[in-house]
Structure 1
Amino acid sequence: MPDLLNLLTDIEGVSVGHATDLVLGSGVTAIVFDEPAVASGTVLGGAPGGRDTSLLDPSMTVSAVDAFVLSGGSAFGLDAAGGMQAGLRELGRGFAVGPVKIPIVPQAILMDLLNGGDKDWGLHSPYRDMGYAALKAAAKGAFALGTVGAGTGATTATFKGGLGSASAVSSAGHRVAAVVAVNALGSATIGAGPHFWAAPFEKDDEFGGLGMPDSTDHRMRLKGMSVPATTIGAVVTDAQLTKAEAHRLSLAGHDGLARALLPAHLPLDGDTVFAASTAKHRRDDMASLMELCHLATIVTARAIARGIYEATALPVEGAQKAWRDRYPNGG
């Protein structure tokens, strides 16, 4: 296997692509599977936005997906899945219904309409074309983090949000990784300082190596009391999972979200985590599943901190400052 990049693409058979528009202040991230992947997901925020998320329930018939899409644009961004479906249809991908193939592309969106970008797009939103572009850009190997793709216009209570990713390997050799677009009502950092709530899980100084502060400030910090937010992401493993087991993996991803953001899962958050298995490696025991859930929690928390750490401010007047703007020397 190739060396780990600490990214979602460490999972064999997974490609990631971005469409980024800094003037719009928004973007789309495509997560594409070489072959249909067993998938599920959970929504724990009170104000979610998504497409084809109901089919991810373990009781529903379709068990596998061709891709996931994460997008800005709030409800307008739901057009991105249509663009990705168009690209997948060109490739002959999709769930077969007689002679017809229907690409299965569950989507989650985040609210980034108030970040100062130019949202005067006219009659039709740009997200269908951006979804298509993100699919066409999807590739193996390294991909950008921070103010890119679905993380382009993301914000949090304290610093500019962004897109992060992280990966890990289980004791059985199974790989698990997360990608998250961090657009939280709450904060990924502790108090007014540079330290991250996810610090106990950090690996190789991936978000600054600052550790925990001498004391912690638990006071609630929100970017607003009436503006919807949403942190969205996906956890993927190469271990063989059933749809019900993938559902459990998505819940473990939410555990990581709650460890990296304070507060989380609020009435105006739409926090959504997808999960998928490429089934490249056999797994059939409970112990390995429990370890994968443990690691899903950790990689999701790390990905969230990396999304903030790697972000840069949007090039618009009044844009929220990034962590690196406030701490150019690393905190």
Structure 2
Amino acid sequence: MAEALWGKAALWPGLRVGHFTDLEALTGCTVVLVEEGWVGAADVRGAAPGTRETDLLLPENTVEKVNAVLLTGGSAFGLRAADGVMRYLAERKRGFLTPGGVVPIVPGAVLYDLGRGRVNRPPGEEAGYRAALAAGEEVEEGSVGAGTGAVAGGVKGGVGLAGYLLEEGYRVLALVAVNSLGRPFDPKTGRLYGEELLAGEERALLPDRSRYQGSPEDYRYPFLLGQNTTLAVVATDAPLSKAQARRLAIMAQDGIARAIRPAHTPVDGDLVFALAQGDGKGVDPYALLRLGAYAADAVTRAILRAVLLTEGAPGIPAYRDLMA
């Protein structure tokens, strides 16, 4: 039986996370730093993605390792934050070696949060640089970083982190920024989708639903149509090959579908990055199967943690506010 992890316990040496949060603009960015270079892959399931360097991560393409991954608000404007992450890494001479010097490899993806704050200020280069500078082993969750202005099916979205320690000794974690069209809860009962996966201590985060006023199931969603996306990074210390990291990302997508309904829609840009530490020689298929299964569970738990730990914003209630 795998051990559920969260917070500082979910990270390990070589892996750090940093946020930049702009409360006035209700936006921000989150950086996952793996400065020494980890095998990288990605899987895109939403039909409205905003991405940077994801083609580089295809198994058939040359560069295998990345130095950081950027998750950011600001829609396509937010991709500029990757320049700041590159600057941070270049100052430390981390990146792909070329005749002209190192080139940091920083794939990224965006979610839509434009117009949700008091000012219009998408994350830029300085935001990415500051997020990288802030990276550490303590990961704040809720309305921070890329989840600062996020909305999940009509309630406040945010950032969540969850992981597992497998019996084989490998670790796998998921960091998510939830800004979905689909709801993370059943509108008839108020129950969070996937909450049966929460670890014992995490269940204390669940609010009392006895006062919840239910509503009929409805997939018409008039709110925030086309202003959506759930982004995730799954990471493991297993020495996956690039193709295996891609399979890990594919399997982890199931965690989004378990926690959010509907998912992978025409107006979401749902995407999962995968990072694997080690020499890239690969693991046996059964080990990869278990890593992928637990990665999906970790994504579900991370989404639930994001929704449970976030605070409401003007005009956007937190999930727990609906239960009061």
Shared fold (TM-score greater than 0.5)?
yes
AA aligned to 1:229 is N
Q: CA deviation at 1:256?
A: 0.5
Q: Distance in 2 between matches of 1:203 and 1:271?
A: 25
Cα pair 2:33 2:132 within 8 Å, conserved: yes
Cα pair 2:157 2:179 within 8 Å, conserved: yes
Please give the residue correspondences for 1:7-18 in structure 2 after superposition, counting only pairs within 5 Å.
9-18=10-19
**Corresponding residue of 2:134:** 137
Q: CA deviation at 1:210?
A: 6.9
Q: Distance in 2 between matches of 1:259 and 1:4?
A: 19
Q: Distance in 2 between matches of 1:283 and 1:59?
A: 16
Aligned residue pairs total 317
Q: CA deviation at 1:192?
A: 5.0
Q: CA deviation at 1:97?
A: 0.9
**Corresponding residue of 2:245:** 246
Cα pair 2:6 2:161 within 8 Å, conserved: no
Cα pair 1:8 1:179 within 8 Å, conserved: no
1:219 aligned to 2:218? yes
3-state DSSP of counterpart to 1:36: strand
Q: How many percent identity over aligned positions? A: 38
3-state DSSP of counterpart to 1:164: strand
Q: Distance in 1 between matches of 2:24 and 2:130?
A: 17
Structure-1-length-normalised TM-score: 0.89
Higher mean C-alpha deviation, range 30-39 or range 215-224:
215-224
Structure-2-length-normalised TM-score: 0.91
**Corresponding residue of 2:150:** 154
**Corresponding residue of 2:295:** 296
**Corresponding residue of 2:284:** 285
Cα pair 1:36 1:65 within 8 Å, conserved: yes
Q: CA deviation at 1:11?
A: 3.5
Q: For residues 224-259 of structure 1, what are the alpha-carbon distances to aligned partners after superposition, in whole Å with 9 as ceiling and x for unaligned?
A: 374231111100000010000000000111110011
3-state DSSP of counterpart to 2:93: coil
**Corresponding residue of 2:184:** 188
Note closer, same or farther for the CA distance 1:298–1:211 as it changes in structure 2 (3 Å cut): farther
Q: Distance in 2 between matches of 1:92 and 1:106?
A: 17
Q: Distance in 2 between matches of 1:85 and 1:297?
A: 29
Q: What is the alpha-carbon root mean square deviation over aligned residues?
A: 2.5
Q: CA deviation at 1:53?
A: 1.0
Cα pair 1:82 1:128 within 8 Å, conserved: yes
**Corresponding residue of 2:76:** 75
Q: Structure 1 regions of 5+ residues with no counterpart? A: none
Q: Distance in 1 between matches of 2:61 and 2:116?
A: 37
**Corresponding residue of 1:326:** 322
**Corresponding residue of 2:174:** 178
